[in-house]
Amino acid sequence: MGLGGCIILIASGAILTFATDWHMKGVNLDLVGVILMAVGLIGVSTFSSIARRRRVVVPPTTSVIDEDPNRRRDGYGGGYGV
């Protein structure tokens, strides 16, 4: 579940909790809405912590060495007519 799914959970939970006055026998819609909002908030916090870990960039420790000493620096490696 991505960030969009978490936001949808929070929005639908808020709608069930604050914007409806339905009464179903055996189901407390206010509690269901609060649970959906809590799950959405947990999802957002988990998603943001995982996304923060992915953004860490480690610089390479080895340098790139050109193994062909005869190659010209302008990118032209020779060929026909040289």
pLDDT, tens digit (0-9, with 9 covering 90-100), for 19-59: 988 888 999 999 999 999 999 999 999 998 887 776 656 66
Q: Is residue 7 part of a domain?
A: yes
Q: Is residue 13 part of a domain?
A: yes
**Percentage, residues of the chain above pLDDT 90:** 46
How many domains does one find in the chain?
A: 1
| 77 or 31, greater pLDDT | 31
pLDDT at 44: 93
- Are the C-beta atoms of residues 25 and 1 closer than 8 Å to each other? no
Please report, for residues 14, 17, 69, 73, the alpha-carbon distance to residue 77 in angstroms, rounded to integers and kept in the order given: 65, 70, 11, 9
Token duo for residue 36: 């959906």
By C-alpha distance, which of 32, 10, 33 is closest to 1? 10
Domain that holds residue 46: 3-54
Helix intervals (H) in 1-82: 3-14, 29-54
Q: Is residue 49 part of a domain?
A: yes
Q: Is residue 45 part of a domain?
A: yes
Q: Is residue 59 part of a domain?
A: no
**Percentage, residues of the chain above pLDDT 70:** 65
pLDDT at 5: 93
